Structure 1
Amino acid sequence: MQDYSAQLSKYMPATAAPVISRWINDSRCQFRISRGRISKFGDYRPPHGGHGHRISVNHNLNPYAFLITTVHEFAHLKTWNAYKDRVKPHGQEWKSSFRQLMQPFLQAAIFPHDVQVAISTYMDNPAASSCSDLNLFRVLKRYDIKKEDTHTVEQLPENTVFALKNGRVFQKKEKIRKRYRCVEVKTQRIYLFSPIAEVFILQQGNFRQ
């Protein structure tokens, strides 16, 4: 049995690493530290085509987000072992697995108080992604390495022009329910942006922190 604690401690709280190392060994899971992905923080793939369980987690998450994402993906593994593909990916079975797997970390007080409180609230009804819960996502963002050139859409004043990593340019407009209406400058098409989407500003303004 291989001990992955030392490698895992580079990405998550050190006290959590031995637990995750044991999970990797017990499940015979191929656990991979992935490049940063915009569309997702982590990924789980069930056994298929000669491969066993496979989990990947983005390398650029802060330690608490990395651990929560890891637990999220292992909850998929646990659910698949119990139900295969007979249940919804984020149905009640997965929610139950996530709560069960997260409990030891909450009891060990691994997380800072604000993260602990946010996770406890989130666990009342876990979502498909931690970024789906705006409160948990905002609390976790406090522990990111600060990037001076990026802001979230909700921080931008109305009519601010901003760009995405792929170079597309938008102008922020009013909030519609939970999202912001934004106009793509080149096409004049309307898109709805999550308030926590990270963007690069192209003009200065009085930003909310």
Structure 2
Amino acid sequence: MDKVKVLEKYLPPEAAPLIGRWIDYFKCEFKISRNRGSKFGDYRAPHQGKGHRISVNFDLNPYAFLVTTVHEFAHLHTWNEHKHKAKPHGTEWKNNFKKMMQPFFEKDVFPPDVKHAIVSYLNNPAASSCSDLTLYRSLRKYDAPKEDIHTVEKLPINAVFKLKDGRVFRKEEKLRKRYKCTELKTKRVYLFSPVAEVELVEG
């Protein structure tokens, strides 16, 4: 099946031809991956005879899929230019991400709120894209509704919630950017991102 047709199932359709051309141009193995709770996408540099490899979670909404794809291609492009000399989300990567995002801005692919969040993220070199909560929240608005799934920040203090692996926690106070949560079984304290997805335990 034509790769552009496959990409159109995951990306805004007008973005698919350019991503298809990038896959060919950079000779990249591009994989649509199962959900990985800890990350949306991944880039692997050439190693032991394998070329560039990018994977992106299959269950992202089209705008999140595109932002993640461009994010990973910017890593690839930065590796081609600088190898290991550039920091993962350093200035070189930021500049490439900005340049590679430009064609999609010109095509007006993104809704205004997402575009605004990307632009403000790109003007804030301190944030890595995974921890940029404004961008993450604006992308999440376009997710299909998920029953019984909440973000930690939306739960009341002392709410009890569980993760996919079955571990159960109680939400406590906010410490700077993250929430302190205690695992009920072990009494160990963990720090959770405000946008971590969890299931509320009725009690």
Q: TM-score, length-normalised on structure 2?
A: 0.96
Alignment match, 1:145: 144
**Partner in structure 1 of residue 18 of structure 2:** 19
Q: State which drifts further: 177-186 or 7-16.
A: 177-186
Distance 1:40 1:52 in 2: 21
- When residues 127 and 142 of structure 1 are mapped into structure 2, their CA distance, relative to the original with a 3 A threshold, is farther
Distance, in Å, in 2 between the alignment partners of 1:155 and 1:126 is 28
User: Structure 1 residue 180 and structure 2 residue 183: aligned?
Assistant: no
- On the 8 A contact 1:127/1:133 being kept in 2, the answer is no
Please tell me the residue identity of whatever aligns with 1:52.
G
* Unaligned ranges ≥5, structure 1: 205-209
Name the SS of the counterpart of 1:199 in structure 2. strand
Q: Shift of the alpha carbon at 1:144?
A: 0.6
**In the aligned structure 2, how far is the partner of 1:113 from the partner of 1:24?**
27
Q: Which residue of 1 aligns with 2:102?
A: 103
Once superposed, what is the RMSD of the aligned Cα atoms? 1.5
Evaluate the alpha carbon distance shift between residue 23 and residue 126 of structure 1 in structure 2; reply closer, same or farther with a 3 A threshold: farther
Deviations 1:39-71 (A, max 9, x none): 111111111111111111110111000000000
CA offset digits 1:61-107 (Å, max 9, x no partner): 11000000000000011011111112211111111111110011112
**Paired residue secondary structure (1:183):** strand
Equivalences for 1:66-105 in 2 at 5 Å?
Answer: 66-105=65-104
In the TM superposition, residue 125 of structure 1 has moved relative to its aligned partner by 2.7
Deviation at 1:130, TM superposition (A): 3.1
Count of matched residue positions in the alignment of Structure 1 and Structure 2: 203
SS of 1:16 mapped into structure 2: helix
AA of the residue aligned to 1:189: R
Structure 2 spans left out of the alignment, 5+ residues: none
CA-CA distance at 1:127 after TM superposition: 6.7
Name the SS for the 1:57 alignment partner: strand
Partner residue in 2 for 1:154: 153
Deviates more, 1:118-127 or 1:22-31: 118-127
Whole-angstrom distance in 2 between the partners of 1:168 and 1:148? 19
CA–CA distance in 2 between the matches of 1:73 and 1:115?
18
Question: What CA deviation, in whole Å up to 9, does each residue of 1:102-160 have, x standing for no partner?
Answer: 01111211001111111111111357753311111111111111111100000001111
1:130 matched to 2:129? The reply is: yes
Maintained 8 Å contact 1:3/1:21: no
Return the alpha-carbon distance in structure 2 between the equivalents of residues 3 and 106 of structure 1.
25
